[in-house]
A and B are shown apart, each in its own frame.
Chain A
Amino acid sequence: MASVRAASRLLSKRILSKTTAVPAAAVQGSRDFHFSIYGKKTSAKVSDDISTQYPVVDHEFDAVVVGAGGAGLRAAFGLSEAGFNTACITKLFPTRSHTVAAQGGINAALGNMEEDDWRWHFYDTVKGSDWLGDQDAIHYMTEQAPAAVVELENFGMPFSRTEEGKIYQRAFGGQSLKYGKGGQAHRCCCVADRTGHSLLHTLYGRSLRYDTSYFVEYFALDLLMENGECKGVIALCMEDGSIHRFRAKNTVIATGGYGRTYFSCTSAHTSTGDGNAMVTRAGLPCQDLEFVQFHPTGIYGAGCLITEGCRGEGGILVNSEGERFMERYAPNAKDLASRDVVSRSMTIEIREGRGVGPEKDHVYLQLNHLPPQQLATRLPGISETAMIFAGVDVTKDPIPVLPTVHYNMGGIPTNYKGQVITYTEGSDKVVPGLYACGESACASVHGANRLGANSLLDLVVFGRACALTIAEENKPGEKLSPLAPSAGEESVANLDKLRYANGSLRTSEIRLNMQKTMQAHAAVFRTGSVLKEGCEKMDAVYQTLADIKTFDRGIVWNTDLVESLELQNLMLNGVQTINSAEQRKESRGAHAREDFKDRLDEYDYSKPLTGQVKKPFEQHWRKHTMSTVDVKTGKVSLEYRPVIDTSLDEQECAHVPPAIRSY
Chain B
Amino acid sequence: MLSLLRLCAPARTPVYVLTGCSRAASGSVKDKQPLKKAKTPQGRLDSPEEESRAALQKFPDDVNPVTKEKGGPRGPEPTRYGDWERKGRCYDF
Contact = CB atoms under 8 A, between A and B. Distances in A.
Interface string A147-183: 0000000000011111100001011110000000000
Contacts of B75: 380-381
Contacts of B56: 380-381
B78 A193 contact: yes
Contacts of A193: 73-74, 78, 86
A377 to B, nearest CB: 9
Contacts of A168: 67, 69-72
B78 to A, nearest CB: 7
B83 A308 contact: yes
A339 B73 contact: no
Nearest to A376: B55
A339 B88 CA distance: 17
A383 B55 CA distance: 10
Interface string B73-88: 1111111111111111
Contacts of A297: 90
B50 interface: no
Chain B interface SS verdict (over half): loop
B90 A162 contact: no
A295 B93 contact: yes
B16 interface: no
A105 interface: yes
A312 B83 CA distance: 12
A383 B89 CA distance: 11
A455 B89 CA distance: 19
Contact of A384 (B70, B80, B84, B87): B87
B32 interface: no
Given A103-B86, A171-B79, A452 B92 contact: yes
A172 B79 CA distance: 7
B68 interface: yes
Contact of B88 (A161, A162, A163, A381): A381
Contacts of A306: 88-90
A192 B91 contact: no
Nearest to B77: A170
A382 interface: yes
Contacts of A144: none
Given A160-B71, A161-B71, A192-B71, A379 B79 contact: no
A312 B72 contact: no
Contacts of A380: 55-56, 75-76, 87
A304 interface: yes
A310 B85 CA distance: 10
A453 B83 CA distance: 10
A172 B84 contact: yes
A356 interface: no
Given A160-B69, A161-B69, A380-B56, A305 B91 contact: yes
Contacts of B77: 170
Interface residues of B, number: 29
Given A102-B92, A453-B92, A309 B85 contact: yes
Given A163-B68, A193-B74, A381 B55 contact: yes
A69 interface: no
A381 B67 CA distance: 21
A190 interface: yes
B45 to A, nearest CB: 21
A368 interface: no
Interface string B56-68: 1000000000011
A191 interface: yes
B81 A308 contact: yes
A472 B22 CA distance: 80
Contacts of B85: 307-309, 379
A491 interface: no
A381 B57 CA distance: 11
B69 to A, nearest CB: 5
B54 to A, nearest CB: 9
A312 B81 CA distance: 7
A385 interface: yes
B69 A307 contact: no
Given A158-B71, A163-B68, A381 B86 contact: yes
Interface string A342-385: 00000000000000000000000000000000000011111111
A312 B93 CA distance: 15
A278 interface: no
A141 interface: no
Contacts of A379: 85, 88
Given A168-B69, A307-B85, A380-B56, A104 B76 contact: no
A386 interface: yes
Nearest to A161: B70
B74 to A, nearest CB: 7
Contacts of B79: 170-172, 188
Contacts of A163: 68, 70
A501 B77 CA distance: 52
Contacts of B84: 103-105, 172, 452-453
Interface string B25-67: 0000000000000000000000000000001100000000001
A474 to B, nearest CB: 36
Nearest to B76: A380
Nearest to B85: A307
B89 A305 contact: yes
A382 B88 contact: yes
A105 B87 CA distance: 16
Contacts of A312: 81
Nearest to B75: A380
The 7 closest A-B pairs by CB, nearest first: A104-B92, A381-B87, A382-B88, A309-B81, A307-B85, A193-B73, A103-B91
23 contacts: A102-B91, A102-B92, A105-B84, A160-B69, A160-B70, A160-B72, A162-B70, A168-B67, A172-B79, A192-B72, A192-B73, A297-B90, A305-B89, A307-B88, A307-B89, A308-B81, A309-B83, A312-B81, A380-B76, A381-B75, A383-B88, A384-B55, A452-B93
Given A158-B71, A193-B73, 6 more contacts: A160-B71, A305-B89, A306-B90, A380-B56, A385-B88, A455-B92
